[in-house]
Structure 1
Amino acid sequence: VATVLPLIAWVAGIPDAMVPLGVGALFVGISESNIHPEHRGRIMLWATAWLTALSALGFLVAESAVLVVIASVLVAAATGWAGVAGPRPTLIGVLSLVLFTITVGLPESVELEVSFVAMVGLGGLVQTALFAVTNVARRNRGGPAPEREPTTVWFRVTHPGAQRPTFIRHAVSMGVAIGIATAISQFVDVPHQYWIPMTVAWIFKSDQNATVVRVVERMVGTLLAIGFAFLWGVFVPAPDVALFAAVAVGAYLLLAFLTSNYSIATFGVTTFVLALFAIAGDLYEETVIFRLEATLGAGLIVVVVVFMMKIWGRRI
C-alpha cells in the first residue's frame, strides 16, 4: 500500500500527494505490527488520527520559524512523556513526531498545502481499510485474542505513579533535543529542514542506555542508505519507475526489521524517504554531504542531551 498509493498519485499527475500518501500508509502499517488481529484495527485508527492531527498542526505553524520551534518542543515533550507508557504509545508517538518534523521541514520540491494533511489521513485510512478486508483470514489464523490490558494507555499516561521521574526525564530530554535540532534547521540556512529533527526523533528512546546503541545503529543504517542513494543517483540514473522499486524495498525492510535489526530498518526508512522525495523532484545526490553531516550532527545532539540529563538526574 505504501508503494501503490504513491504510484497511483504519480500516474495521476499529482506528485505532491506521493509523500503524504506513502508516509501515512507506511506509518499506519507499522503501528499494527506484532499485535493480535483482534486489536489491530483500533490501533491503526488511533495511529491515523494522531498522524493526521500532528501533520495538521505542522501545516498550521509551518510559516513561522518561532512557532515551529515552540510547537516542536511541545510535541516532542508530549510524545516523550507518552513514550514511557508502553511500546505501542512509544511507537505511535515516534511516528507522529517524525511526520510532524517532515511536515514543517518539507523540501521546496513538495508543496505544503491542506491537501498534504488530507493525504496523510487518506493513506492511513486506506491501509486500515485493506487490513479490515483481510482481517477475517488473519483472525482465523491468529487464535483467541488476548485480553486487553487492565489499564488503558490514557490511564498510564495520566497516572505515572512511581515512574513519574522517568516520564519527566524523557519528556524533557525529547523536548530539549528536538528543540535544538529544530532551531538549527529553522534559523540556519540548510537545504532540508526536516532531516536533523527527523533523525533525532528516530534515535531517541526512553531507555537512555538503549539510546546510545540506537545512535550507532542509526548512523550505520543512514550512512549506508545515503551512500546507496548517492551511488544510484550518480552512476545509475534511474527513471521514476525504478525508484518506486526502491520505495517498495525500503518499506519492506522497515516493516520486516523494525524490532529485530534497527540498522537495517533505518536503512529501509531512509531509502523509502529519499526515493519518494526523489520521485517528487528532490535530487538527493546534490545534498549528500549535507545529509551525512546532518545525520552525524543529530547523533551528537542526542548523545550530548542524554549525557546532560544523566548529570541532571544525579543532582535531583
Structure 2
Amino acid sequence: MIVHRLLRGRIPVRRYSQEMFAFRRGDIRPETVIACMPAIAICLAAGIWFGSPDFGLVAASGAFSVGFGAFQRFTAVRAAPMILAMVGMSVAAWVGSFSGSYMPLMLLFAAVFGALCGGANAAGPGAWWITLQWAIAFFVADAFPSDMMGALGRAALIFSGGLLQILVVTIVWALAGKSSIIREHDGTERWQDLFAVMGRRLTGHSDTLRIAIATAILAVVTTLMTKTADIPNGYWIPVTALIILKPQSDKTIERVVFRICGTVAGAGIATLIAALLRPDESLLAVLVVVLAGLAYSMQRSGYAAFVATVTACVAFLVSLAGLPEIEVVEHRITATVIGGLLALVTAICVDAWARRSRGSAEPPPASEG
C-alpha cells in the first residue's frame, strides 16, 4: 500500500520523456569544458607511456571527478569545490583501500561517508556534491584493498590527478579573465553558515537527520551485499544508491528512472563504439577524453543524457585495466538497477518514517465541554 501511494501519480511519463535526454546548448561553458580535458589526457598518456595504464587510470579518475567541481559552487571561492573534492577524495581513497580487508572497519567508514553524504543535502548542492565525491572515492578504493603503503600510493595518484586538474582549470580561468572570487553561487556564503545549517537541521526528528541515518544504513547494507555476494564491480551499487537517494521520494523516483535509462543508453553507445573501432590502449584513452568532455557539457542537460555520457566514459576508462567493454557495461547496468531499487526502497521507508513522526508530533484535539 505504501509503495502504491508513493508511485501513484508520481511518474509523469510525458514530462520524463521530454526531459530525460533534453539537450540545453545555452548551459554549456565551453572554456571550462575544454579546460577540464587536458589533465585527463595527460594522466592517461603518462600511464600508457610508462607502461602502467592502471596508475594512469586512477590518476585520470581523480582528474575526471575533480573536473566536475569546476561547475559547482561552494563558498565564494571559485575553486573551492575542486580543492575540497581533491583533498577529501585522497583521504577517502587511502581510508577505503587499507580498510578494505577489515570488514568492521570498512562498515564503520561506509556508515560515516553515507551519513556525511545524506546530511550534506541540507547545506546545498555544492556541499552534497563534495561529500558525494568523497564517498565515491571510498567505495571504489574499498574494492581494491591494500596495505598502508599501497593505500597511500592510490591516494597520491588521485591527489596528483586532481591537483593537475585544478592547476589547468584555474590557469584557463585566469587567462579568460575570471576572478577567483565569485558573488553569485549555490550553497552557503561562509563556512560559519554551513555549520549553522548543519547544526540546526541535524537535530531532533528533522528530515535531514532522517536522511543522514538512512544513507548511513544504505551504505552499510550495500557494502555488505557487494562483499558477501562477490558482485563484479560491485562498488557501483553503493555509489549508485547514494547518487540517486534524495530527501524527497518523488525526486528519488525520477532519478531512478532517469539513471537506469541513461545507463542502458550509455552502455549501448559504448558497446557500439567498441564493436566498430576495436580500440587499443591509445584509442581507449582518446575515447575517454572525448566522452569526458561530452559529460562535462551534458551535466546541465537532461539527467539521463548526462548519465549516458558518464557511463560510456567510465566503461572505456575501466577497460584500460584490461576488462572487456561488454563486461564493464553489463556490470554497470546490473549495479545501477540494484542500487536504484535499494535507493527507492530507502526513500519509501524515509517517507513513511517522516509521516509517522509528523503524525505523532501533532497535539491531540482539545476535548469539548
Same fold (TM over 0.5): yes
Is 1:187 the counterpart of 2:223? The answer is: no
Contact 2:90 2:159 in 1 (8 A): yes
1:157 partner letter: M
Equivalent residues of 1:246, 1:271 under 8 A apart: no
1:47 and 1:313 mapped to 2: Cα distance? 31
CA contact 2:295–2:310 (8 Å) conserved in 1: yes
1:168 equivalent to 2:221? Answer no
Q: CA deviation at 1:300?
A: 1.0
Q: Give the direction of change, closer, same or farther, for the CA distance of 1:235–1:68 in structure 2 (3 Å limit).
A: farther
Give, as a single letter, the amino acid of the residue that structure 2 aligns with 1:23.
Answer: S
Amino acid at match of 1:275: F
Report the Cα distance in structure 1 between the residues aligned to 2:234 and 2:341, rounded to whole angstroms.
17
Q: What residue is the counterpart of 1:62 in the other structure? A: 100
Which of 52, 55, 74 is the matching residue for 1:17?
Answer: 55
Match of 2:156 in 1: 118
Closer/same/farther in 2, CA of residues 125 and 312 from structure 1, 3 Å limit: same
The equivalent residue for 1:311 is 352
- For residues 171 and 330 of structure 2, what CA distance do their matches in structure 1 show? 44
Aligned length: 313
Partner of 2:183: 146
Alpha carbons 2:266, 2:308 under 8 Å: kept: yes
Contact kept in structure 1, 2:40 and 2:63, CA below 8 Å: yes
Q: Quote the offset at 1:302 in angstroms.
A: 0.9
The 1:243/1:287 distance shift into structure 2, 3 A limit, reads closer
2:48–2:281 Cα contact (<8 Å) kept: no
Is the 2:97–2:145 Cα contact (8 Å) retained in structure 1?
A: no
Report the alpha carbon displacement of residue 144 of structure 1 after superposing the two structures with TM: 8.0
Give the Cα separation in 1 of the matches to 2:114 and 2:143: 15
Tell me which amino acid in the other structure corresponds to 1:278.
Answer: S
Whether the aligned pair in 1 keeps the contact of 2:262 and 2:308 (CA below 8 Å) is yes
What's the TM-score, normalizing by structure 1? Answer: 0.88
Q: Is the Cα contact below 8 Å between 1:24 and 1:48 reproduced in 2?
A: yes
Q: Secondary structure at the match of 2:78?
A: helix
Q: Runs of 5+ in structure 1 lacking a partner?
A: none
Match of 2:270 among 226, 229, 249: 229
Classify the secondary structure of the residue corresponding to 2:206: helix
CA shift digits 1:245-285 (9 cap, x unpaired): 32123312321222332112211222222211101212232
Change (3 A) 1:142 1:34: farther
* 1:134 maps to 2:172: yes
Q: Measure how far apart 1:106 and its partner are.
A: 4.2
Query: Alpha carbons of 1:143 and 1:163: their partners in 2 closer, same or farther (altered >3 Å)?
Result: farther
Pairs within 5 Å for 1:153-302: 153-160=194-201, 165-234=206-275, 236-286=277-327, 288-302=329-343
CA distance in 2, matches of 1:254, 1:164: 38
Q: Report the Cα offset of residue 236 of structure 1.
A: 4.1
The letter of the residue matching 1:145 is I
Percent identical among aligned pairs is 24
Work out the CA distance in 2 between the residues paired with 1:36 and 1:107.
Answer: 32
With 271-280 and 284-293 compared, the bigger mean Cα shift is at 284-293
Counterpart CA distance in 1 for 2:202 and 2:106 is 32
Deviation at residue 308 of structure 1 after TM alignment: 1.2
Write the distance in 1 (CA, Å) between the matches of 2:62 and 2:194.
Answer: 22
Between structure 1 and structure 2, the one with the greater Rg is 2
Indicate the residue corresponding to 1:45 in structure 2: 83
Deviation at 1:310, TM superposition (A): 0.8
Over aligned residue pairs, what C-alpha RMSD do you find? Answer: 2.8
Deviation at 1:143, TM superposition (A): 11
Letter in 2 for 1:178: A
- 5+ residue gaps, structure 2, are 1-38, 358-369
Asked whether the 8 Å contact 2:202–2:209 carries over to 1, the reply is no
Is the contact between residue 247 and residue 347 of structure 2 (CA under 8 Å) also seen in structure 1? no
CA contact (8 A) 1:36 1:146 kept: no
Partner of 1:79: 117
Report the CA distance between 1:11 and its aligned residue.
1.5
Query: Which residue identity does 1:200 align to in structure 2?
Result: A
Inter-partner Cα distance in structure 1 for 2:103 and 2:127? 28
TM-score (norm 2): 0.76
